[in-house]
Structures are given as C-alpha cells and as structure tokens.
Amino acid sequence: MYMDLVWAIIALVVGIVFIAVRMQQHDYNKTTNLVGYLLILLAVILAISSFIRVVPAGTVGVVDLFGKVSDQARQPGLNLVIPFAKLVIMSVKTEEEKEEMTVPSKEGLTISLEVSILHRLSPDRAAEIYKKVGLNYRNVIISPQFRSVCRGVTVNYEAKSLYTSGREEISQKIHDELKGLLEQNGIVLEKALLRAIKLPMTVSTAIEMKLKAEQEAEQMKFVLDKERKEAERKVIEAEGIAKAQEIINKTLTAAYLQHEAIQSQFKMAESPNHTTVYIPVGTNGIPLVKIIDN
C-alpha cells in the first residue's frame, strides 16, 4: 500500500506546481486552478487510503515494517497500518493435511497408509510463527512431525489391528501424540483420520482367512450352546412330566374314580339327545356306561 502514498505525494506535488504556474500567468483565474485542486484532493484521498488495510475473514494480518514484526496480529476488518509496512495475511481456517506413506507394523511388515489431519493456525501465535518459521510452516512444522508420529504409532500394532477394529484406537493415538507437538508451535490439531490401509496381498489374504475361521468358530459355538440349552430344556420338561404323573398316581384311588364316573353318568343322563346304557360293574367297582346318540 505504500504505492498509494507515493502516488499521493506525486499528485500533491503536481497539483501545487500546476497552481503555482497558473498564478504566474497574466490571465490567471481561480477557476483555471480547478485541475490543481482536484489533484490535491486526490493526493489527500490516496494518502488516507494508504493507512487503511483490509484483513479478510478467516485470516489475521502480521505487520512487518522493514523486518520488524509486530507481536500483535491484526484481526479481520479495517486496520490502520503505516503505509511503508507490509501486512502479511495468514489463514486461520481449518485446513486438511493429507499424507500417503509407508509405515512399519509390529511384525516388521511394510504397510501403505493414507492419513489426514484437520488443523488450523492459532491466531494468537501467528506473529510468532511468521518470525520463527515463516509462511512455509506447513512443510517445516506439520508434515515432518505428522509422518514421524504415524510411524511411531503403527510400529506398536500388528497388521491385523491396522486392518480391523484397532483403526479407531490408532487414529486416537496419532491425534493425542501429534496434538501436543503441534500446540508447542502454535498449531491447533482438530482431528486425525485414518482413511485407507493397504497391506501386502499375502498378508491381507491370510488375515481374511483367519477372520473367516474365527467367525465360523463363533458360529459353531453358538450352535452348540443352543443345542445344549435345548437338551437341558427337554430334561427339565421330562422331569416335570414324571413328577406330575407321580402326583396323579398317588391321588387316583378307586373311590375317587368311582365318584367321578357316577357324576359323569348323572350329567349325561340328563341330556335329551343321548341314551345311556348301563353295563355291569367292572372289576375295580366302577360302573361302565355307554352313551348312544339318538
């Protein structure tokens, strides 16, 4: 923006010279100085505008005056800055850093890993990062530590864990270890995402076969448990039936059966649609009855 100030000075000088020259002429008239006045007005506008800088939303501005950096970052909006100072715009929006790398597993296998992190620059540390690292802080701070942490985490896990349910645990481990390292340098880590894992073909095939065998074993265990419970149910049912029969046999006396038979005869005899035929008494003393439909 210092160019605005330069043009303002030029416009001011030209305007003053123009007015001075016109005043020396014999046909001098104030209206003839209109161009000079306009040039002076333009100079004033340019001079004022050279002090005003705009910081876009989602960024902060770092003031650099001939190598001297202000410790206070400028916030989004209009800011008054010395014309000859450079206002460096630095983004504080959330950004994604994606890496495709080869990492070792606990067994010493080489695994292709695709990981990404979501991070942003801390507004309060923008001036410090600019002074110590510069605008290339992603390649200087984030990427090297990102790769180092990923390799340090995966070396403690077997390939099977990377390939199955251990992925969430590994992602969280990467996040926890990397977060502290980046915060020391003014970078806020929001999330670590384990996107894709590619194992050697022989390893992935072996893992898939092992997982299939484990699933089949679990299925067989379920079937055996079901059959065992069914057998237990049948035993309990048989014991209940035997117990019921034992109780019934104890209560079925001859007198009780004779009483029940007589009561049934009386009820059937009262029905108009049946004919009751009495048969001589059986050996157990219970009369036999035959009902004939009319």
Classify residue 57: in a domain, yes or no. Answer: no
Number of folded domains that form the chain = 3
Whether 266 shows a pLDDT value over 70: the answer reads no
Find the domain containing 35 and state its range. Answer: 2-50
Residue 292 predicted with pLDDT over 60:
no
Grade residue 235 by pLDDT with cuts at 50, 70 and 90.
confident
**Contact yes or no for 41/11 (Cβ under 8 A):** no
Same domain, 44 and 99: no
Q: Please, which pLDDT band fits residue 86 given cuts at 50, 70 and 90?
A: confident
One domain, residues 109 and 15: no
Contacts of 132 (CB under 8 A, 6+ apart): none
Query: Quick one: 183 and 271 in the same domain?
Result: no
| Global model pTM greater than 0.85 | no
Same domain, 139 and 198: yes
Confirm whether 28 is domain-assigned: yes
Percent with pLDDT over 90 in the chain? 10
Reported as a single tens digit per residue, the pLDDT across 188-220 is: 999 988 887 777 666 656 656 776 677 777 777
Same domain, 271 and 196: no
The least confident of 83-97, 142-156, 237-251, 255-269 is 255-269
Percent helix, strand and coil across the chain, each to the nearest 5: 55, 25, 20
